[in-house]
Amino acid sequence: MEREFAWEPDAERYTMHLDGRLASVIDTHRLGDAISFSRVFTAPPFRGHGYASDIVAWAVDHVERTTDLRIVPTCWYAAAWFDRNPERSGLLARRAG
């Protein structure tokens, strides 16, 4: 299957299409000097193939390559992804307190 990743700034989301079909989405929100990954969703026909992990990895790489923003993983899946990939924790926004 052909995978196509994209950042859609007007919709504030990352998308992954498989053979032209929308398979996975990350909804985001800007929080000052950070970006929140507020929802990671994979459409039912595409679940169970690791696509959610693939889109989070691509989005994290995109944030790192194209911005100075830090990431706030407010979605449970995005938070778990960072737990499984501690080498990427340098991109996380520091918590106050």
pLDDT classification of 1: cutoffs 50, 70, 90: confident
Residue 60: φ, ψ to 5°: -60, -45
Q: Among all chains, which residue has been given the structure tokens 């026909």?
A: 45
**Cα distances (Å, whole numbers) of residue 76 to 27, 36, 38, 79:** 13, 12, 9, 5
Say whether pTM exceeds 0.85.
yes
Q: Kind of pairing, strands 13-18 and 3-8?
A: antiparallel
List of domains in the chain: 3-89 (3.40.630.30)
Interval 31-73: pLDDT, tens: 999 999 999 999 999 999 999 999 999 999 999 999 999 999 9
